[in-house]
Amino acid sequence: MSNDNSQLKSAVGQDYTKLRDLLKEGEWKEADEETARVMLAVAKREKEGWLDVEHIDNFPCADLRTIDQLWVKYSNGKFGFSVQKRIYQSLGETINYDEKIWEKFGDKVGWRKRGNWLPHSNITFDIKASQGHLPFVGIGLGGWGGLWVVGVDVFSLALRLVDCNI
């Protein structure tokens, strides 16, 4: 069996050990926060606390793949960016941002209830959450000190996953 660290690849030398360990232990909320932290560190955006389209478009594929693979592995395929991408694509994803599709996506993964986007405090950090519910990493309509990506920038993340074959 391969060393547990062999899959923790990074184009910029980012250490994913803590994220792996949190996911392995099922510490979903802490893993979500760690995901935000490492993504900001990789993009050198810790001070800003959010990613814009430019930084998402240039986010290293190796790092995006590592983060995704850890989430997919330790959630048994329930969570991860690639899971979210598949759900998004199943709703009629286009190469142009479409608010209606994004809202359907939010409904499907449980980020919206009764037509409203949920605040971070109402996100379910549990394996029982809807498929694709995590990582949430502060995606939504309000910052909480984690990664804050809104609307079109989240759409850019979906496009980056396609670019990276994730």
Helix, strand, or coil here: 160?
helix
Nearest to 53 by CA among 160, 163, 136: 160
Domain boundaries, the chain: 4-163
What pairs with residue 112 in β-bridges?
Answer: 117
Q: Please state the φ and ψ torsions of residue 117, each to the nearest 5 degrees.
A: -70, 135
pTM (two decimals): 0.87
Helix, strand, or coil here: 134?
coil
Rounded CA-CA distance 61/35 in Å is 15
**pLDDT tens track, the chain, 166 positions:** 344 555 799 999 999 999 999 999 999 999 998 998 999 899 998 888 777 778 888 999 999 999 999 999 999 999 999 998 889 889 886 666 777 888 898 899 998 899 888 877 888 999 999 999 999 875 543 443 444 444 445 667 777 888 899 8
Q: Please state the φ and ψ torsions of residue 148, each to the nearest 5 degrees.
A: -115, 110
